[in-house]
Amino acid sequence: MPAIKTAILSFGMSGRVFHAPFIALNSGFELVGIWERTKSDSLEFYPHIKIYRSLDEILNDDSIELVIVNTPTNTHFDYTKQVLLSGKHAVVEKAFTTTIAEAIELDELAKNVNRKIAVFQNRRWDSDFKTVKKIVEEDWLGKIVEAEIHYDRFRVALSAKMHKEIPGPGAGVLNDLGPHLVDQAICLFGMPLSVYADVRITRPNSLVDDYFELLLNYADMVVRLKASCIVREPFPSYVIHGQKGSFHKTRTDVQEHALLANQKPNSPNWGVEPIAEQGLLHTEKNGIIIREKVPTEIGNYGTFYVLVEKALREDAAMPVTSKEGIQVMKIIEAAFKSNELKKQIALTE
């Protein structure tokens, strides 16, 4: 099979850290070029690629089969629509879009033009989340009754990425970190019946939300999703309680830090967490009470692109489908509505 010729729409942190390294090292792909409007920074890392100066250059390049839409969230709908209409497949960064209606339109357009969309929910392949998922799926805790997932940071200063700080579609922490937590909750437990949300501004001088707590209500359990920019001493990022026991795990996947330090994903011990960060399992197995540390699964964002290649070459499903992207958008949109009306919002599949 020929390599999937790929272009990336931005070489900011997302392009440099989360996309280009995995595409470049996967023999199933060929990184043809990157859209940089005025700079040529990507040539330092990938000297043989092409620098595109406009989106039209990429859309008109018939050799390109896949486009990575990793520009600001408020551009995702328009750029992805243009990509699909040009006959190319798309990987779209989270948040998928700014509204449910946009997400549905892209899903339907992809079907009509016989192209595929994947939503880049890379945190599914974090070492910490993979470990939590294994504990739940192997039924170590029994019937789950309560879960909390946190994504807390201590960043009082405003982000230098002003598109995240200026009020408008796609701005704020619920749109930025919310998709990670919502997607993980859906992966573990499916779609909830309703959402109740508290969304706030807590940093001095902030104009966009930087704190949220979502209460996802299921028939027989509750899931809390929480993110804050003012947490110096973090709570465990995953707290799962079941009728047989509990599991606690910190958010300590090492991949992002390694990528920011320009380490390559084929480095020795890639995605291996420090032993000291192992999760705590306190449960009962065969009548015996167990309280012990659990070895952490190995993280690997590269799995996403392995599955994208399979989807495009073997007609398998994309690793995160546009349907799943729509589900995330439904919960986020319901959360904003809940916060506005101060009431619980019912959901539909």
DSSP 263-278: --TTSTTTTPPPGGG-
| Domain CATH number, residue 60 | 3.40.50.720
CA distance 43 to 34: 9
| Domain CATH number, residue 191 | 3.30.360.10
Q: Is residue 19 a part of any domain in this protein? A: yes
Residue 336 belongs to domain spanning: 123-299+331-346
> Which three-class secondary structure state does DSSP give residue 330?
helix
Top-confidence residue, 94 or 164? 94
* Statement to judge: residues 220 and 287 lie in one domain: yes
Q: What is the pLDDT of residues 307-331, one digit of tens each?
A: 999 999 999 999 999 999 999 999 9
Q: Which of the four pLDDT bands, split at 50, 70 and 90, describes residue 159?
A: confident
CA distance 199 to 216: 14
Supply the pLDDT for residue 163.
Answer: 74
The DSSP result for 30-72, as a single string, is: EEEEEE-SS--GGGGT-TTSEEESSHHHHHT-TT--EEEE-S-
Of 102, 91, 68, residue with least CA distance to 175: 102
What does pTM read for this prediction? 0.96
Q: What is the pLDDT of residues 189-242, one digit of tens each?
A: 999 999 999 999 999 999 999 999 999 999 999 999 999 999 999 889 999 999
Q: Is residue 205 a part of any domain in this protein? A: yes
Q: Is residue 95 a part of any domain in this protein? A: yes
- Decide if 55 contacts 289 (C-beta within 8 A): no
Supply the pLDDT for residue 349.
Answer: 61
The whole-number average pLDDT for the span 79-106 is: 98
- Decide if 284 contacts 299 (C-beta within 8 A): no
> Which residues have a Cβ under 8 Å from the Cβ of 242 and sit 6 or more positions away?
140, 141, 142, 143, 144, 145, 283
Q: Which two tokens stand for residue 34?
A: 């990157």
Tokens 């779609």 locate to: 191
Q: What is the pLDDT of residues 281-299, one digit of tens each?
A: 999 998 999 999 999 999 9
CA distance 260 to 145: 37
Q: Which of the four pLDDT bands, split at 50, 70 and 90, describes residue 184?
A: very high
Q: What's the chain's average pLDDT? A: 96
> Which three-class secondary structure state does DSSP give residue 238?
strand
Give percent of the chain with pLDDT exceeding 90.
Answer: 93
* Statement to judge: residues 167 and 53 lie in one domain: no
* Statement to judge: residues 138 and 248 lie in one domain: yes
Q: What is the pLDDT of residues 108-122, one digit of tens each?
A: 999 999 999 999 999
Supply the pLDDT for residue 29.
Answer: 98
Q: For residue 294, give the DSSP letter.
A: E
Q: Is residue 324 a part of any domain in this protein? A: no
* Statement to judge: residues 335 and 257 lie in one domain: yes
